[in-house]
Structure 1
Amino acid sequence: MEGFYGTPQSHSGSQKHAQVMKGPIQVAFDITNKCNFRCAHCYNNSGENNFVSKELSDDEVLNFIHDIAKLKPFNFCFCGGEPLLRLDVLLKSAKILASHGVIVSLVTNGFLLTENIAANLYKNGVKRVQVSIDGSNPESHEKLRRVPKSFDRAINAVRHFRKAGFKDISVAFCPTKFNYSEIEQVYELCLSLGVKDLRVQPMMPLGRASQNLDFIPSVYEYRKIVSKIMQLRNRSCDKIMIDWGDPVDHLVRFRTITQHCVAYVSILADGSIAVSPYIPLLVGNIRRHSFSDYWEAGLARIWELPMVKKYADPVFSVTSMGKKREGEPHVWFDEPILVDIVENQLI
């Protein structure tokens, strides 16, 4: 998701933009926390965390979608959990958003995808998709994903998307100690599948990943990964982009350069509005007030609040993300702090 955060602006420019922005540019919505996998590196404990258990009903999801569609975000991404576990409401939601000119995206492990589902997703307005492939072979992929046959199903998912007409297909790859040397093979695999983007992002020590720290590459191994990515980027004849994502980038940028105008919003499966998925602070819930109400209350300027900076400041690198701090909830393990910006009129 880091690829959608936008570009830095000057403080004065971002203040002006905050005053005229009708709505967010990028919305990430966990349509469910349920998941058919229990991946070793899952940062948000999908399927197991106990504080996102009361998910929005189908009617609540559709009310939210109708509300936010009027604000016309540039891109709306269905995340999870595994979004395909709520296929019916996902299709209805995508159709509504697309009818308002919103680019609709989806991230999936691909296991549940069929030709028919891919065709229905495309027909109902989904245009960007991302499938996770964490190795060049079943052994590597399934050591991380923990589900037999998941490698073949992920490959087939990309093929189903291609057959359905999708042009904007990305693959997410998480390097580990046992698969980092396969990055070039994964790149070649993506080329053969007609993938547009290969997105590589470090393993974040949050959620289940915090229990599998021995999977995380060393500094030396990460340097080898980045070096290989730079080499692959120089192959200009290839019709594929390869990106190295920095999950901490938005935390640094939002609290400094673009604090007066933040165009990215994250909504959890229970309707909570998260400042960032990586800090234990919520600023509202669409069950309490509509998303439009939160936007009017100053959600675009949420990073001006000292409280937000307090929780974000200690997170300055990937290694600092999972540290338990005294007096603070442990991210994706403990109940986060809720401060409602509508009810408290903080901005």
Structure 2
Amino acid sequence: MIDQYKRSIDYMRISITDRCNLRCTYCMPEDVEKLEHDSILTYEEILRICRSASTLGIRKIKITGGEPLVRKDSVKLMADIKAIPGIEYVTLTTNGVLLEEHVEELARIPLDGVNVSLDTLNPDTFRNITRRDEFLKVWNGLQKIIKSGIPTKINCVPQKGVNEEELMDIAELAVKLPVDVRFIEMMPIGYGKEFEPIKGEDIKSRIKEKYPNIISQKMRRGFGPAEYII
């Protein structure tokens, strides 16, 4: 597909559930109202949409939520999407809580990539951000998915006064482990409006101060435009 700005559109995100097993302070309240099951797409409907999208030139599909892995048989759905003619890449964004128990299934698909949300390496800070005591599950899932060979990214949302002092430790995971680390600026919408963001230029300056020999370049890699520091 070509949009009105002559850009090729080959990527689609699909949210398969509104439910999540964490309650991150900038994202979801404790008392969020859940959609009824009849109000969300069935797997059959999702597959029909994906088949139609593939005929229009969609080649890459990312499965998101909520937390996708809380929905029953979500891994089978990913396998079914990957089997659609024309679909070349299927990836997953997850908070990692249930990741460890699904790694073997995801590797058998084989899934083309996993983005794990991780805002802190401190269990206490993790509990404060997510309002759940699940850091160890996320960390173990991250280690296991890395060992599986599935390309892995860590998504971190920088927050002033919350995880600000850890950002370079999180960035250093890209040096110590075979992962990409991506900092995503807090969006001033919804509950995110209550938090003071840390700007991308600030984070880039900190990284360059710690690693003066890095190269920064704007390029298209993967599913979208970003500035990569290598």
Classify the TM-score, shorter chain: 0.7 to 0.9
Q: Do 2:68 and 2:74's aligned partners in 1 also have CA atoms closer than 8 Å?
A: no
Q: Which residue of 2 aligns with 1:191?
A: 175
Query: What SS does the corresponding residue of 1:194 show, helix, strand or coil?
Result: coil
Show CA shifts across 1:49-108 (max 9, x none).
Answer: 567871112222222233223334232111110011125144234343355342111100
2:152 partner amino acid:
I
Corresponding residue for 1:229?
207
CA separation in 2, counterparts of 1:87 and 1:130?
20
User: Percent same amino acid at aligned positions?
Assistant: 28
Q: Is the 8 A contact 1:118 1:161 kept in 2?
A: yes
Letter in 2 for 1:216: E
CA gap of 1:89–1:64, structure 2 versus 1, over 3 A, is: farther
Q: 1:16 to 1:186 in 2, by over 3 A?
A: closer
Secondary structure of 1:126's aligned partner:
coil
Q: Which 5+ residue runs of structure 1 have no aligned equivalent?
A: 1-12, 244-248, 251-347
> Aligned with 2:172: secondary structure?
helix
Instruction: Report the secondary structure of 1:129's partner residue.
Output: strand
How many angstroms apart in 1 are the aligned matches of 2:12 and 2:26? 23
1:235, CA displacement in angstroms?
4.5
Whichever residue aligns with residue 92 of structure 2, its letter is L
Q: How many residues align?
A: 216
Cα distance in 2 for partners of 1:175, 1:71 equals 37
CA distance in 2 between counterparts of 1:83 and 1:66 reads 20
What residue in structure 2 maps to residue 66 of structure 1? 51
Match of 2:158 in 1: 175
Q: 1:72, 1:102 within 8 Å by CA — same for their partners in 2? A: no
Deviation of residue 153 (structure 1)?
Answer: 1.9
CA RMSD of aligned residues (A): 3.4
- Name the counterpart of 2:184: 201
Normalised TM-score (structure 2): 0.77
TM-score normalised by L of structure 1 = 0.54
With a CA cutoff of 8 Å and minimum separation of 6, indicate the structure with the bigger relative contact order: 1
Give the one of 54, 63, 71 matched to 1:78.
63
CA offset at residue 242 of structure 1? 11
Instruction: Evaluate the alpha carbon distance shift between residue 51 and residue 235 of structure 1 in structure 2; reply closer, same or farther with a 3 A threshold.
Output: farther
Equivalent position amino acid for 1:73 in 2: I
Give the distance between the partners of 1:64 and 1:46, measured in 2 at CA. 32
Contact 1:98 1:126 in 2 (8 A): no
Q: Is the 8 A contact 1:35 1:46 kept in 2?
A: no
SS of the equivalent of 2:154 reads strand
Residues 159 and 198 in structure 2, CA contact (< 8 A), matched pair in contact too: no
Contact preservation (8 Å) 1:176, 1:203: yes
Secondary structure at 1:78 match in 2: strand
Q: Is the 8 A contact 1:33 1:52 kept in 2?
A: no
Residues 100 and 142 of structure 2 are in contact (CA less than 8 Å); yes or no, is this contact kept in structure 1? no
Q: Which letter maps to 1:66?
A: R
CA 1:173/1:89 → structure 2, altered by over 3 Å: closer, same or farther? closer
Whole-angstrom CA distance in 1 between matches of 2:198 and 2:119: 18
The reply to whether residue 134 of structure 1 matches residue 119 of structure 2 is yes
Q: Which amino acid aligns with 2:91?
A: S
Aligned to 1:114: 100
- Structure 2 residue runs of 5 or longer lacking an equivalent are 219-223, 226-230
Aligned partner (choices 149, 166, 169) of residue 165 of structure 1: 149
